[in-house]
Amino acid sequence: MEKPRGVEETPSSEPMEEEEEDDDLELFGGYDSFRSYNSSAGSESSSYLEESSEAENEDREAGELPTSPLHLLSPGTPRSLDGSGSEPAVCEMCGIVGTREAFFSKTKRFCSVSCSRSYSSNSKKASILARLQGKPPTKKAKVLHKAAWSAKIGAFLHSQGTGQLADGTPTGQDALVLGFDWGKFLKDHSYKAAPVSCFKHVPLYEQWEDVMKGMKVEVLNSDAVLPSRVYWIASVIQAAGYRVLLRYEGFENDGSHDFWCNLGTVDVHPIGWCAINSKILVPPRTIHAKFTDWKGYLMKRLVGSRTLPVDFHIKMVESMKYPFRQGMRLEVVDKSQVSRTRMAVVDTVIGGRLRLLYEDGDSDDDFWCHMWSPLIHPVGWSRRVGHGIKLSERRSDMAHHPTFRKIYCDAVPYLFKKVRAVYTEGGWFEEGMKLEAIDPLNLGNICVATICKVLLDGYLMLCVDGGPSTDGSDWFCYHASSHAIFPATFCQKNDIELTPPKGYETHTFNWETYLEKTKSKAAPSRLFNMDCPNHGFKVGMKLEAVDLMEPRLICVATVKRVVHRLLSIHFDGWDSEYDQWVDCESPDIYPVGWCELTGYQLQPPVAAEPTTPLKAKEATKKKKKQFGKKRKRIPPTKTRPLRQGSKKPLLEDDVQATERIPSEPGPDETGGPAGFPGADQTTCKRWRKPLHLPLLSPRLHPGLCWRDGEGRELPLVTASCAGAGLHSFMPFTSSSL
C-alpha cells in the first residue's frame, strides 16, 4: 500500500549529509529563459555576511534555514540543466521560492528540516482524522501552511496596508499610492525634509541618524520581467524622513532610474535577507548585460558598506505597539468649552494618535489627539487638581456603539506623558499675573494673557486679555512647565508679533504702560521653562503636521520660522494667516513618510485656484458674509482629483455644490480651534477664522465612518504599522569571498 505523500519524508529516513548543499553561486542566464544559467568558471563558495546573529547560526545548525547563503541570478552564456540543479522550487509547506539545489532532502520538496517535519506531522493528523470520519485516506493530505517569521510579518504588514473596501475604495498603502507623492514634490522643488531624529515621539528616532548616503539594502526589483518576485541591491542616494531615494547597483552615476521608497515598507530588507529566505537576486533588465561577473561586482561594492539590521521587520512591528487600547476611559478637554474636561473612550489608535468618543455625545462626536497630548488625562485628574469637568451620564443610545460595548478599564496614569515636577518655594505663579501665551483657539497668535486660577500639580488656568467671556468659559489650562507660555516681552525680544488686548494697537503696545494701567504685575521670568534642546529643525524643512484646527487631518507643511524651541508651521498651499506655533517636541508634527508608514492618508498642498466661471462668481456674490476670514475655495469632493498633478476647472456640478455650502455655521456645527479642536464658534468668539480644511474629501481611517457634505456615510481604511532600525554592516575579508 502506497504511503501518504509526505510521510516518507520524515527526518529519520533522511541522512544528515543531504542537508549540506552546494554553496556555489551560479549566475542566472538573463531574461531569455528562466531556466538558463551561466556556468562561468571561478564560482566559489562565499557568504555576503562575515558574521551573523546567534539566532541565525542556531537556526542553520538545526536545519531551519537554507544553507546556501545567497543566490545570484545574472546574465551570461546560457546552458540547459538536465538534473535538479538550480531550477526554481517552491516549498510545499511554507511556500518559500528558492533554488532546488538549496532545498532539503533528495526530492527537494521542502526548504528545511522543519518544513519536512511539519508536513509529515500534518499529513499524519489529516490521515487519522480521515479514518475517524470514515473517509478513505488520500495520497496527498491537506496541510496547515506555516511561514517563516519574516514571511509572516511581511504578510501581516501587506494585508494591513493594502486592499479595497466593498465599494472599491482603496485602503492603506493602496490609497496612499493615489495620493500625494513626497518624492516628486521634494525633487521637483529641491526641498529638504526634517530628519526623523528631530521627532522624539516617532518610531526609532534615535537610530535614524545612522541612515546615510551609500547605505545598501535589498529591495524588490521592479525592472524585471520574470514569473516570480525577485530582488536586487540598491544604494541610498538621499534620505528624506522615512523616505529614501534609491539607486540599483550597476547604474553607478546614472540617476535616470532612481526611485523613492519608504524604509518602513515590506519590500526593503537588509543585505543577506534574500540569502536567509531563499529569495533570488536579479539585476535590472536595463543593465543585465552591462557586466559579465555580477558576483565580483557586488562583492566590491558591498565591502565596508552599512545596512539595516537583520531583525528589521520585527523592530518595525515592535516600534508601533502602543499602550492605549479600544475601550479605555480617560478625561479630555471639552471641545465645545475649553475650560472644562469630559469623559471619553478610546475608539481607535493609529500610529499613537487616538480617536476619542465623548461618553455623553453622539456616535460621531469625536476628538483626535496624540497619546502624549497635554489635553488628555487619567480619570480623576480634574477632581485632583481642581479643574472643571462636565458631569453627565452616558447616553442610552450609545450603549449599542461597538466601542462602548468594549469598555473594560480606566486608562492608568502611567500611560500618559508625565509633566515636569514643580517647586513652589521662593515664589510661584499668582492669580492676576500677566504673561504671554499661545492662544489655544488660534495657534498662530501669541497673546497677552492673565493667570485666572492656580491649580494643583503646577497647572494654571489662563485667559486672553480682552476676551468677551465674563463667566470663565473661555479659560484654558496650561502646565507651568509648558512651552506655550512665555514671560512678558518675549515676543518683543524675539521679533514676534504680539496680539495685544482689545483696544490696543500691535505696534504701540508697551508692557510697562499696560501693567501700570491695569495695576498688575508680570510673572517672574525665572518661573518659565525656557530650556532649548538641539532639536535640529531649520527654516524651510518639510514635514507632516496636524492641523490643530481640524486634528483628524495631517497636512504637508514647512518650518517657516525657528525661535529657540518654538516653530512656526506653515501649511503648504494656504495663506500665512493659518500658520501655527508649536513646540519642537510637539507630538503633532511628524517626519516625511510617517503617514505612509502608518497608513494615515496625507493631505496634499492646495493647488492654485482654477479659473472660476461667471455663473460661479454670481453665486458667491449672493452668499452672506462668513464669520471670520474666508479661505480660498477648494473644489468639491465629487470633482476633486486624487492626484496632485491633475488640476481641473470648476464644473456646473461644482457650482451647485458650492451653492449648497452654508454661509454660516449651523447651531450644531463646531469648529476645531487650534489646540482644542472643534470648539463652538458661538461660544469661543475669540476664534477669528473658519475651519482649516485642506481637503474636503473625507479622510480615511480604520474602523471609522465620516460623512460628506450631503450627509452620506463613507467608510474608512485600515492602518498598518511599521518602523525601522539600523546597525553597521560588517566589512568583508578576502576569506569570506
pLDDT per position as a tens digit, 95-134: 665 666 667 667 778 777 667 777 777 776 666 666 666 6
**Over residues 391-419, mean pLDDT:** 73
Question: How many beta carbons lie within 10 A of that of residue 647, not counting itself?
Answer: 12
- Portion of the chain with pLDDT greater than 70, in percent: 58
First to last CA, the chain: 50
Greater pLDDT, 675 or 565? 565
Each domain of the chain, given as residue ranges in start order, spans 7-149, 150-193+533-607+669-720, 328-415, 434-527
Report yes or no: 349 and 718 within 8 Å, Cβ to Cβ: no
Number of residues that this document lists for the chain? 737
Can you point out the beta strands (E) in 688-732? 705-707, 713-715
Question: Residue 345 forms beta bridges with which residues?
Answer: 329, 357
The answer, yes or no, to whether residue 301 has pLDDT greater than 70, is yes
Q: Nearest 5°: CA angle at 552, between 550 and 556? A: 80
Distance CA 62, CA 545 (A): 49
Report yes or no: 445 and 579 within 8 Å, Cβ to Cβ: no
**Over residues 569-583, mean pLDDT:** 94
How high is the pLDDT of residue 429? 95
How high is the pLDDT of residue 591? 96
**Over residues 413-421, mean pLDDT:** 90
Mean pLDDT (the chain, rounded): 71
81 falls in which pLDDT band (50, 70, 90)?
very low
Report yes or no: 351 and 717 within 8 Å, Cβ to Cβ: no
563 falls in which pLDDT band (50, 70, 90)?
very high
**Over residues 526-536, mean pLDDT:** 92
Greater pLDDT, 421 or 27? 421
The answer, yes or no, to whether residue 61 has pLDDT greater than 90, is no
Residue from 370, 675, 699 nearest 555 by CA: 699
**Over residues 342-360, mean pLDDT:** 92
How high is the pLDDT of residue 587? 96
496 falls in which pLDDT band (50, 70, 90)?
very high
57 falls in which pLDDT band (50, 70, 90)?
very low
Distance CA 676, CA 655 (A): 33
Question: How many beta carbons lie within 10 A of that of residue 204, not counting itself?
Answer: 21
Phi, psi of 570 (to 5 degrees): -110, 130
DSSP state of 644: S
Distance of CA 142 to the CA centre of its chain: 39
How high is the pLDDT of residue 228? 85
- The yes/no answer on whether domain 434-527 falls in CATH 2.30.30.140 is yes
Distance CA 439, CA 449 (A): 9
CA distances from 309 to 71, 268, 621, 727, 730 (A): 20, 11, 61, 5, 11
The answer, yes or no, to whether residue 378 has pLDDT greater than 70, is yes
**Over residues 609-622, mean pLDDT:** 43
The answer, yes or no, to whether residue 708 has pLDDT greater than 60, is no
Question: Residue 436 forms beta bridges with which residues?
Answer: 448, 486
Domains 328-415 and 434-527 share a fold: yes
The amino acid occupying position 316 is M
Distance CA 202, CA 208 (A): 10
The answer, yes or no, to whether residue 368 has pLDDT greater than 70, is yes
Phi, psi of 181 (to 5 degrees): -105, 100
Question: Among 141-150, 197-206, 326-335, 451-460, which stretch is predicted with the lowest mean pLDDT?
Answer: 141-150
How high is the pLDDT of residue 549? 86
Q: What is the fold of 328-415? A: SH3 type barrels. (2.30.30)
Which of 179-183, 254-258, 689-693 reaches the highest mean pLDDT?
Answer: 254-258
Which of 159-173, 202-216, 519-533, 714-728 reaches the highest mean pLDDT?
Answer: 519-533
Which of 9-18, 526-535, 658-667 reaches the highest mean pLDDT?
Answer: 526-535
Residue from 268, 202, 203, 205 nearest 234 by CA: 268
226 falls in which pLDDT band (50, 70, 90)?
confident
Distance CA 260, CA 245 (A): 4
Distance CA 722, CA 162 (A): 14
**Over residues 445-469, mean pLDDT:** 92
Distance CA 435, CA 447 (A): 8
Question: Among 66-70, 147-151, 318-322, which stretch is predicted with the lowest mean pLDDT?
Answer: 66-70
Cell 532612481, located at residue: 258
**Over residues 486-496, mean pLDDT:** 95
CA distances from 586 to 111, 370, 371, 529, 548 (A): 48, 10, 11, 15, 12
Greater pLDDT, 297 or 37? 297
CA pseudo-torsion sign 489, 494, 496, 497:
positive
Q: What's the CATH number for 150-193+533-607+669-720?
A: 2.30.30.140
**Over residues 228-256, mean pLDDT:** 93
706 falls in which pLDDT band (50, 70, 90)?
very low
Distance CA 577, CA 688 (A): 10
Distance CA 69, CA 24 (A): 10
How high is the pLDDT of residue 639? 36
What is the value of pTM for the model shown? Answer: 0.65
